[in-house]
């Protein structure tokens, strides 16, 4: 559920992966900056997207994963340590789970819920950098984890929206985590990469190093801000501004021909006027520069740049803005590519656009991951309870 659109991507498991068999879209109603603000209208958008996808696929959706986003998301790094029972010193899945549970055992305000506990690395006795400690011998196991929390109320509203839509719940996944499943390669995650998902209302950032998540964050700036700047700057309607941005916009003035002109429809009964493309670019560039500079300041402050051996991957609808990649390279001083979803079969050409990164990633999010199993023991249990409570409340009202 994005700020601008709700997408439902329906897939089926094949012997060697996932095949996309249906895609449905609806304009996002009742959603603001990734957060549900009107449950009935949001539920209507979900219903439309889902029924379109089901019609295309000719099957009914069984289980779904849902993306969670918004400025209520917080994240932090933590660690958990446990002793390994002395009888054989071989580390089991149970020991790993205990360590991860210890890593997420800190006091949380009553209105917040843990969404993910993402393992970064394990340390067995004094040996660090371990990705899979099961089966190793040791007497002390430590997990370094990246913990993501969300507002309970925001999640409750998502639960209620989806309950109205009569869908069965799979997993709740942080949207940039989902996007990264669809656009990043294992090599990039290992060497170090920053994913920047520029949507309509928000930009989600996720930094990977040595295979794990080092940091994540959300910035409340997206393509809608660029469109609003264009509308205001050129004195035209939002709809025209959106079309002009997509058709002629450029994030880097230096890439624009001085002589090119575009037609800008006036507001109301005012006449259409001609404006130089340079003028348009001069409106767009400062906003995109602001966005990338905010991210750059954070990565410099936290000394993350050294961890980004594979550079930056831009995704989300706004990553298609002409010149965005080049401007990002200048500001981050790192190699930048635009990531479209990879790793699915079937209707891959339909979802071959950065705006589908989150949707395809939700499809790829493995239910069998270690993280997935942990989820069901904590926030997912809470999440199901929350949905059950909402159902009960609705039933009692009826």
Site for ligand ATP, rule CB under 6 A: 2-5, 28, 34, 69, 199-202, 222-224, 227, 242, 245-246, 316-318, 320-321, 355
Give SS3 for 246.
Answer: helix
Nearer to ligand ATP, 122 or 322 (CB): 322
- Residue 341 interacting entry, from Mg ion, ligand ATP, none, C-beta within 5 to 8 Å by type: none
- Residue 339 interacting entry, from Mg ion, ligand ATP, none, C-beta within 5 to 8 Å by type: none
Q: Exposed e or buried b for every residue in 214-253, given b needs 16+ CB within 10 A? A: bbbbbbebbbbbbbebbbebbebeeebbbbbbeebbbbbb
- Residue 340 interacting entry, from ligand ATP, Mg ion, none, C-beta within 5 to 8 Å by type: none
Nearer to ligand ATP, 28 or 115 (CB): 28
Distance CA 206, CA 126 (A): 28
Q: Are 360 and 285 in contact (CB under 8 A)?
A: no
Helix (H) or strand (E) holding 158: helix 152-164
Based on the shown chain and the rule CB under 5 A, indicate whether residue 201 belongs to the binding site for Mg ion.
no
- Residue 224 interacting entry, from Mg ion, ligand ATP, none, C-beta within 5 to 8 Å by type: ligand ATP
- Residue 117 interacting entry, from Mg ion, ligand ATP, none, C-beta within 5 to 8 Å by type: none
Q: Which of the stretches 1-9, 55-63, 90-98, 100-108 binds Mg ion when contact is defined by CB under 5 A?
A: 1-9
Nearer to Mg ion, 199 or 249 (CB): 199
Nearer to ligand ATP, 1 or 130 (CB): 1
DSSP-assigned beta bridge partners for residue 194: 207, 312
Q: How far is the CB of 251 from ligand ATP (least distance, A)?
A: 9
Q: Are 280 and 230 in contact (CB under 8 A)?
A: yes
Distance CA 364, CA 351 (A): 13
Contacts 24+ apart (CB under 8 A), 283-287: 283/229, 283/230, 283/233, 283/234, 284/226, 284/229, 284/230, 284/245, 284/249, 284/250, 284/251, 284/321, 285/250, 285/251, 285/252, 285/253, 285/327, 287/221, 287/225, 287/226, 287/229
Which residue of 11, 24, 80, 199 would you call a contact of Mg ion, by CB under 5 A? 199
Q: How far is the CB of 280 from Mg ion (least distance, A)?
A: 24
Residues sharing a CB contact under 8 Å with residue 280, sequence separation 6 or more, in sequence order: 230, 234, 244, 245, 248, 249, 250, 256, 262
Nearer to ligand ATP, 103 or 317 (CB): 317
Alpha-carbon torsion angle 19, 373, 151, 393, nearest 10: 90
- Residue 103 interacting entry, from ligand ATP, Mg ion, none, C-beta within 5 to 8 Å by type: none
Nearer to Mg ion, 2 or 30 (CB): 2
Shortest-Cβ-distance residue relative to Mg ion: 199
Which residue of 2, 103, 339, 341 would you call a contact of Mg ion, by CB under 5 A? 2
- For residue 183, the tally of other CB atoms under 10 A from its CB is 28
Q: How far is the CB of 129 from ligand ATP (least distance, A)?
A: 33
Q: How far is the CB of 322 from ligand ATP (least distance, A)?
A: 7
Distance CA 377, CA 100 (A): 12
Nearer to ligand ATP, 210 or 229 (CB): 229
Q: Strands 140-151 and 261-264: what pairing?
A: unpaired
Q: How far is the CB of 197 from ligand ATP (least distance, A)?
A: 6
- Residue 318 interacting entry, from ligand ATP, Mg ion, none, C-beta within 5 to 8 Å by type: ligand ATP
Nearer to ligand ATP, 141 or 150 (CB): 150
Q: How far is the CB of 324 from ligand ATP (least distance, A)?
A: 8
- Please provide the size of the chain in residues: 398
Q: Residue numbers of the site for Mg ion (CB under 5 A)?
A: 2, 199, 358
């Amino acid at each position: 559920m994005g700020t601008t659109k709700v997408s439902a991507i329906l897939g089926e498991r094949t012997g060697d992966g996932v095949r996309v068999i249906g895609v449905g879209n609806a304009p996002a109603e009742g959603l603001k900056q990734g957060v549900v603000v009107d449950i009935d209208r949001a539920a209507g958008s979900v219903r439309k997207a889902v029924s379109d996808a089901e019609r295309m696929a000719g099957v009914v959706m069984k289980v779904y994963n849902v993306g969670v986003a918004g400025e209520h998301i917080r994240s932090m790094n933590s660690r958990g340590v446990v002793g390994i029972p002395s009888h054989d010193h071989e580390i089991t899945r149970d020991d790993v789970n205990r360590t991860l549970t210890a890593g997420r055992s800190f006091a949380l305000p009553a209105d917040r819920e843990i969404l993910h506990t993402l393992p970064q690395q394990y340390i067995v006795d004094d040996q660090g950098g371990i990705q899979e400690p099961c089966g190793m011998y040791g007497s002390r196991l430590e997990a370094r984890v990246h913990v993501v929390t969300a507002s309970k109320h925001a999640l409750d509203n998502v639960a209620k929206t989806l309950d109205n839509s009569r869908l069965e719940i799979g997993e709740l996944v942080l949207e940039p985590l989902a996007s990264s499943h669809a656009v990043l390669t294992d090599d990039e995650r290992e060497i170090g990469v920053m994913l920047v998902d520029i949507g309509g209302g928000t930009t989600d950032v996720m930094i990977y190093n040595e295979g794990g998540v080092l940091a994540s964050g959300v910035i409340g700036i997206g393509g809608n801000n660029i469109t609003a700047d264009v509308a205001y700057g050129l004195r035209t309607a939002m709809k025209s501004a959106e079309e002009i941005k997509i058709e002629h916009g450029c994030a880097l003035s230096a890439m624009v021909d001085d002589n090119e002109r575009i037609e800008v429809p006036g507001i109301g009964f005012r006449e259409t006027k001609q404006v130089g493309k340079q003028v348009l670019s001069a409106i767009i560039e400062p906003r995109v520069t602001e966005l990338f500079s905010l991210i750059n300041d954070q990565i410099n402050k936290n000394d993350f740049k050294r961890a980004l051996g594979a550079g930056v991957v831009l995704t989300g609808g706004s990553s298609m803005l002409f010149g965005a990649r080049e401007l990002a390279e200048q500001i981050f001083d790192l190699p930048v590519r635009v990531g479209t979803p990879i790793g699915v079969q079937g209707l891959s050409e339909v979802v071959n656009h950065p705006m589908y990164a989150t949707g395809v990633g939700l499809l790829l999010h493995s239910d069998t991951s270690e993280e997935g199993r942990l989820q069901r023991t904590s926030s997912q249990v809470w999440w199901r309870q929350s949905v059950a409570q909402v159902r009960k409340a609705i039933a009692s009202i009826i």
